[in-house]
């Protein structure tokens, strides 16, 4: 039987950073230094290869073009590796993992994002444990099939579905949370897989990648006192295709005529208005309160329990893939890669 291999793709982030001697700021160093700092990875019974992106970046500089690049690498190397580990900065990791979950179709192998809060060369680094566990999960197979055939995030002893994850802490080693979906695995003495949460739906077609993302979208966070002129200027942005409205609670927004007229106007301009709650846990339930009922009449689409990161990526992906507004709304309304759980209205 051929020996298994995992490919590490290094994009940048704290995991591989050092202090710039001149400025003292953290800046990226190279993968060889990471491998030197974690010699344990040589002891695995599978091969590990690595690929460093031509330009390693702090993840705050990530762009959809980098997501496309990652997809193309995975497609090109798909048959050679049983899994992929992407070393990535934590700041936008949840966006990148969400994006790849939509861009990679018929995925049957793990794509595990990980990173760290402290650079891997430092004594108390969390990067060592994260990298080792991510590699083990990327290589894990049972009866010849990947145990976690999904895009996921490994961080602080938990494995999460990538498009369910949010960065919640800028300092803690448990920097990520998945409020609306259970972890796919917990890492302790053993890696304890939560089989019933992992997507084992049958995929017989070969891997396909979709590399386009329509970035003509905007996010508008509601707050008490928000000026109507702010909403007005956003919906008059030339070429705007979609507007994520970050609403209160179960998807609620002001009921004033002024506000609702702007939402109506957005719909009439062909802008897809997508209702995503500011709450991290729980779901949008449009129509539950008077404050969201009217938005249904203006064609606003429910985000259910989607994360903001996944909502941004899903909207970009669908807006590029389909031109018909109703078709985009139809797909926003259904789970594509396990990113939402639809809740029925009712008490
Ligand atoms: N600014 C860094 C980044 O996201 C933070 C990190 O890696 O944790 O690239």
pLDDT tens per residue, the chain (347 residues)?
A: 578 999 999 999 888 877 777 887 776 666 677 778 888 888 899 999 999 999 989 999 999 999 999 999 999 999 999 999 999 999 999 999 999 999 999 999 999 999 999 988 888 999 999 999 999 999 999 999 999 999 999 999 999 999 999 999 999 999 999 999 999 999 999 999 999 999 999 999 999 999 999 999 999 999 999 999 999 999 999 999 999 999 999 999 999 999 999 999 999 999 999 999 999 999 998 877 777 778 888 889 999 999 999 999 999 999 999 999 999 999 999 999 999 998 655 44
pTM of the entire predicted model: 0.95
pLDDT of amino acid 343? 67
Substitution site in 53, 56, 115, 120 for ligand 1 pocket (most atoms within 8 Å of beta carbon): 115
By residue count, the chain amounts to 347
Strand partners, 28: 17
Number of H helices, E strands in the chain: 9, 20
Distance 267 CA to ligand 1 centre (A): 37
Rounded to whole angstroms, the Cα distance separating 82 from 84 reads: 7
pLDDT of amino acid 59? 94
Say which residues have a Cβ less than 8 Å from residue 198's Cβ, sequence separation at least 6: 147, 148, 149, 150, 184
pLDDT of amino acid 256? 93
pLDDT of amino acid 29? 67
Q: Which residues line ligand 1 (CB under 6 A)?
A: 12-14, 58-60, 89-91, 115, 117
pLDDT of amino acid 233? 96
Distance 113 CA to ligand 1 centre (A): 13
Say which residues have a Cβ less than 8 Å from residue 152's Cβ, sequence separation at least 6: 97, 110, 111, 112, 113, 137, 159, 160, 161, 162, 184
pLDDT of amino acid 40? 87
Tell me the pLDDT tens digit for each residue of 271-310.
999 999 999 999 998 877 777 778 888 889 999 999 999 9
Distance 68 CA to ligand 1 centre (A): 20
Helix ranges (H only) for 78-225 are 93-103, 127-139
| Nearest atom of ligand 1 to the alpha carbon of 58 | 9
Rounded to whole angstroms, the Cα distance separating 145 from 30 reads: 32
Substitution site in 10, 13, 62 for ligand 1 pocket (most atoms within 8 Å of beta carbon): 13
Distance 47 CA to ligand 1 centre (A): 27
Substitution site in 56, 86, 91, 175 for ligand 1 pocket (most atoms within 8 Å of beta carbon): 91
Distance 122 CA to ligand 1 centre (A): 15
pLDDT of amino acid 346? 47
pLDDT of amino acid 347? 44
Active site residue 14: yes
Report the interhelical angle of 325-332 vs 308-321 (nearest 10°): 150
């Amino acid at each position: 039987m051929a020996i298994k291999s995992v490919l590490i793709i290094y994009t940048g982030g704290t995991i591989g950073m050092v202090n710039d001697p001149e400025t003292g700021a953290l800046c990226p160093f190279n993968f060889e230094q990471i491998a030197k700092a974690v010699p344990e990875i040589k002891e695995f019974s599978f091969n590990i290869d690595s690929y460093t992106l031509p330009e390693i970046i702090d993840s705050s500089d990530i762009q959809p073009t980098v997501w496309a690049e990652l997809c193309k690498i995975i497609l090109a190397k798909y048959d050679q590796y049983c899994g992929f580990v992407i070393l990535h900065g934590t700041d936008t990791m949840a966006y990148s993992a969400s994006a790849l979950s939509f861009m990679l179709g018929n995925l049957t192998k793990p794509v595990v994002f990980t990173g760290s809060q402290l650079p891997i060369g430092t004594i108390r680094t969390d990067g060592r444990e994260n990298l080792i566990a991510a590699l083990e999960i990327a290589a894990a197979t049972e009866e010849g099939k990947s145990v976690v055939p999904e895009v996921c995030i490994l961080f602080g002893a938990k494995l999460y579905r990538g498009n369910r994850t949010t960065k919640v802490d800028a300092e803690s080693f448990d920097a990520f949370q998945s409020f609306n979906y259970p972890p796919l695995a917990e890492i302790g003495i053993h890696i304890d897989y939560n089989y019933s949460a992992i997507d084992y739906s049958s995929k017989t077609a070969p891997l396909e990648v979709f590399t386009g993302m329509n970035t003509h979208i905007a996010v508008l966070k509601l707050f008490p006192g928000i000026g109507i002129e702010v909403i007005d200027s956003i919906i008059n942005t030339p070429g705007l295709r979609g507007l994520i409205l970050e609403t209160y609670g179960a998807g609620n927004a002001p009921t004033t005529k002024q506000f609702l007229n702007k939402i109506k106007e957005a719909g009439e301009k062909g802008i897809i208005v997508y209702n995503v709650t500011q709450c991290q846990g729980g779901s949008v339930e449009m129509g539950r309160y008077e404050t969201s009922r009217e938005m249904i009449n203006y064609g606003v689409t429910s985000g259910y329990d989607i994360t903001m990161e996944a909502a941004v990526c899903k909207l970009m992906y669908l807006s590029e893939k389909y031109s018909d507004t109703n078709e985009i709304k139809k797909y926003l309304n259904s789970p594509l890669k396990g990113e939402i759980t639809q809740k029925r209205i009712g008490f």
